[in-house]
Amino acid sequence: MTLDETQRKKVAGWIADGMKLSEIQSRLASELSVRMTYMDVRLLVDDLKLTPKDIDPPKPPASVAAPASVPAQKPGNGLKLEDTAAPESSVSGVSISVDQLTRPGAAISGKVTFTDGKKADWYIDQTGRLGLAPQEAGYRPSAADVQQFQIALEAELSKMGM
């Protein structure tokens, strides 16, 4: 169904006022007695070369904690995992690094140093499970350290676009 020029101007005004397409669809039916599907309204707005406004633009999620420091990357001497780590991130004493050469069987891997100075290798496997392999047998980090590790890991992976 086509609209005459005055009806098109009303639709343009509604878009300028920031109305959503569903609201325009309802207004067309109630005020102008024009019944259109949602898709028809979308096509109409497109044909009129109008762009609906976002009244409430989506807000980016607030970061829980920002990395405290990012030391320079160590130069690599060979193909050992220790020498191919990415820059480290630290959140409240827990520092992590991401391996540039991922360990076998993992989607991504790296190293973590907890607040007590103990170190562990971490990895995320192909199914998305997070694993820790401490260097000291039987070591279990504190719950607070695990939480800080997860925050630091999330921050580092988001910087990498993951």
pTM of the model: 0.45
Q: What are the backbone dihedrals phi and psi of residue 113, each rounded to the nearest 5 degrees, phi first?
A: -120, 120
pLDDT of amino acid 91: 54
Distance in Å from the first CA to the final CA of the chain: 46
Q: For each successive 10 residues of the chain (162 residues), what is the average pLDDT?
A: 80 84 85 84 80 60 45 40 46 82 90 91 89 89 88 86 76
pLDDT of amino acid 119: 93
pLDDT of amino acid 120: 93
pLDDT of amino acid 63: 45
